[in-house]
Amino acid sequence: VADCLFCSIAAGDIPATVVREDDLTVAFRDLDPQAPTHVLVIPRVHAPDVGTLAASEPEALVAVARAAAEVARAEGVADSGWRLVFNTGRDAGQSVAHVHGHVLGGRDLGWPPG
Ligand code: DGP
């Protein structure tokens, strides 16, 4: 999608620190990390948010979840615990309208969030 930042990262047109990729997903380090591990996992296909992706390309959403778990394992936080966050809409602070899961870990994440 033209003018979509994360489509451009998925295409390799904008640089990012990619830690994992496969046919359906790309995972890269967040520019403004909020935890020792903070990786964004995106589907290559464009969808504005997680609900839209679930409805239109459910296999891509499953691939995002699988990639997130593999990133957590590779980052060494699978045993200590990690979180997969899909900020959706204004009140959640979603700033990029291409669905992305935040893989967060490496510290006590606290609850409730926000
Ligand atoms: P959200 O607020 O949930 O929409 O998260 C968007 C995240 O994307 C935010 O944590 C910062 C990150 N981000 C924004 N622009 C870039 C970029 O150009 N490169 C990378 N690696 N991360 C970005």
Q: What is the DSSP string of 13-61?
A: SS---EEEE-SSEEEEE-SS-SSSEEEEEEESS--SSHHHHHHH-HHHH
Mutate to test the pocket of ligand 1, among 31, 38, 64, 102 (most ligand atoms within 8 A of CB): 31
Whether 98 is catalytic: no
The one-digit pLDDT tens for each residue of the chain (114 residues) are 999 999 999 999 999 999 999 999 999 999 999 999 999 999 999 999 999 999 999 999 999 999 999 999 999 999 999 999 999 999 999 999 999 999 999 999 999 998
pLDDT at 76: 98
CB of 8 shorter than 6 A to ligand 1: no
Annotated catalytic residue, options 46, 98, 100, 102: 100
From 26, 29, 96, mutation site for ligand 1 pocket: most ligand atoms within 8 A of C-beta: 96
Tell whether ligand 1 has an atom less than 6 A from the beta carbon of residue 87: yes
Backbone phi, then psi, for 92, in 5-degree steps? -85, -5
Nearest CA to ligand 1 atom 16: 31
How confident is the model at residue 97, as a pLDDT?
98
